[in-house]
């Protein structure tokens, strides 16, 4: 038996860190979950990388005398990279997503995964009846799945 917390709403233009927590999921009995899987949005992650590259390009473009360069051009007559100038300090990026599993307000297990490594092992003998799943990161999560075997995870 696998338990899946399905996709929740995501903002495809927001690069800020999020913290999402499910409601309590009542299972029919104590279940011994051995593995978890987090399905991340790899395309979103690539868009973030592309944006960071754009920001780096902006830094190179304006590394010289920006005030002098602006005085030489009439404003709004020159487009620089589609006017996508952003401050580097406004962005933070990590491909990691941390998943915490709680029961009755107590942290039972925690794992940090990335786009490439989305399957994780739960502690040996991990049983739970009323799980609450929490995900924290920058890359949107499509699903969090808890399973009793790796084979169950491969069907997702």
What confidence tier does 98 reach under pLDDT thresholds 50, 70, 90? very high
The residue among 110 and 95 whose pLDDT is bigger is 110
Q: Which of 102, 118, 139 is nearest to 110 (CA)?
A: 102
Q: How many CA atoms lie within 13 A of 103 on its CB side?
A: 12
Cα–Cα distance measured from residue 135 to residue 9, given in angstroms and rounded to the nearest whole number: 13
The stretch 136-152 carries a mean pLDDT of: 87
Choose the weakest-confidence range: 55-64, 125-134, 135-144.
55-64
Measuring CA to CA, how many Å separate 34 from each of 12, 100, 122, 124?
32, 14, 5, 7
3-state secondary structure of 26: coil
Give the range of the structural domain holding residue 95, as residue numbers without chain letter: 1-156
Over the range 121-147, which residues count as b (16 or more CB within 10 Å of their CB) and which as e?
Answer: ebeeebebeebbbbbbbbbbbeebbbb
The average confidence (pLDDT) of the chain is 75
pLDDT digits (tens, 9 = 90+) for 54-84: 766 665 555 555 555 555 544 445 555 555 5
H or E stretch covering 146: strand 141-147
Q: How confident is the model at residue 122 (pLDDT cuts 50, 70, 90)?
A: very high
Which helix (H) or strand (E) segment is 61 a member of? helix 42-61
pTM: 0.67
Q: Whose CA is closest to 146, among 25, 2, 24? A: 2
* Cβ partners under 8 Å of residue 90, min gap 6: none
Q: What is the pLDDT of residue 112?
A: 92
What is the percent of the chain where pLDDT is above 70?
Answer: 61
**Domain total of the chain:** 1
Q: Return the structure tokens found at 17.
A: 């860190």
CA 1 to chain centre: 26
Do strands 141-147 and 18-21 pair parallel, antiparallel, or not at all (unpaired)? unpaired
User: What is the pLDDT, as a whole number, of residue 14?
Assistant: 57
């Amino acid at each position: 038996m696998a338990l899946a917390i399905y996709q929740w709403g995501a903002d495809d233009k927001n690069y800020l860190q999020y913290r999402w927590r499910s409601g309590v999921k009542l299972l029919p009995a104590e279940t011994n979950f051995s593995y978890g899987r987090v399905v991340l949005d790899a395309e979103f992650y690539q868009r973030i990388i592309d944006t960071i590259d754009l920001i780096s390009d902006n830094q190179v473009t304006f590394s010289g005398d920006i005030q002098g360069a602006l005085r030489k051009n009439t404003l709004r007559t020159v487009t620089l990279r589609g006017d996508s100038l952003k401050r580097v300090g406004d962005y933070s990026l990590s491909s990691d997503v941390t998943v915490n599993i709680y029961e009755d307000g107590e942290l039972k297990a925690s794992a940090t995964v990335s786009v490439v490594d989305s399957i994780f092992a739960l502690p040996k003998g991990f049983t739970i009846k009323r799980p609450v799943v929490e995900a924290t990161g920058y890359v949107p999560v499509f699903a969090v799945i808890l399973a009793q075997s790796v084979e169950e995870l491969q069907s997702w």
